[in-house]
Copies of this chain bind each other. A is one copy, B any other.
Amino acid sequence: MRVTEQTKLRTRERILDAARKLLDDKGFERATTRDIAIEAGIATGTLFNYFPSKEALALTILGEAVEQAESEFQARRWGGESLAELLFALTASVLRCLGPYRRFACQVIETQPGPSSMPTALQASDEALRNYLEHVTELITHHGPTGGQPPTVITLHLYWTLLLGVLSYWAQDRSPHQEDTLVLLDQSLRMFVHSLSEPHHRTELSDEPDHL
């Protein structure tokens, strides 16, 4: 069965469509891989020839959305905006593109390893997420208050944390057009950008040990 490349791509798309439908209908946990396979007209095992795991399948869908947000952002003409404004616009784009997947986006992205441990290596497992983080790194480097200095790992981790917080609020935001989410995003980013100007400290308390 030396199937044509085209057939394989069609199967892949059928799986992605089925997954989009069922993940949106039932959320990440209640949408089973068996059901997705049936909806796509294939056997359960076949699904795993195309995607290594249910999580990777969902991430593929979300990654495409993030990539689209990225292009939308790049397509706009920028000049003179502050770092906070740029990050706001980029992240609002991401939220808009993730809109159709609000039901499961946060559940999946939350489980991704952020840029914590490994120095420099942004370790989000999905490539689109890695690119997003690299893009953020670049924006901070070139538009941040510490001209030209790339952010530390701790700073990047902080950014990722805040993004996850916004996503998890957004996933449950019942306000008309998720306006509250934009308020939270704004507050998060202002806070974050402000903190870039401050050096890294460590609070000293007389009766507090300085380690854990």
Q: What is the interface of chain A, defined by CB distance below 8 A to chain B?
A: 76, 81, 84-85, 88-89, 92, 95-96, 99, 110, 114, 116-117, 154, 157-158, 160-162, 164-165, 168-170, 172-174, 176-184, 186-192, 194-195, 198, 200-203, 205, 207-208, 210-212
Q: How many copies does the complex hold?
A: 2
Determine the main DSSP class of A at the interface with B: helix
CB-based contact B176/A165 at 8 Å? no
The distance in angstroms between the C-alpha atoms of A164 and B168, with both chains bound, is: 12
Contact for A182 among B85, B160, B210, CB less than 8 A: B210
Contact for A162 among B95, B161, B173, CB less than 8 A: B161
A176 CB contacts on chain B under 8 angstroms: 211
User: Taking A162-B161, A194-B194, A202-B186 as contacts, is the C-beta distance between A116 and B208 under 8 angstroms?
Assistant: no
Contact for A76 among B116, B202, B207, CB less than 8 A: B207
A157 CB contacts on chain B under 8 angstroms: 165, 168-169, 184
Supply 19 further A-B pairs (C-beta < 8 A) apart from A158-B165, A161-B161, A191-B195: A88-B203, A89-B208, A116-B172, A154-B169, A157-B165, A158-B184, A158-B187, A161-B162, A161-B164, A164-B164, A164-B165, A165-B165, A179-B212, A182-B202, A182-B210, A186-B201, A186-B202, A190-B195, A191-B191
Closest 7 CB pairs of A and B: A161-B165, A177-B211, A117-B172, A191-B195, A178-B212, A88-B203, A186-B203
A116 CB contacts on chain B under 8 angstroms: 168-169, 172
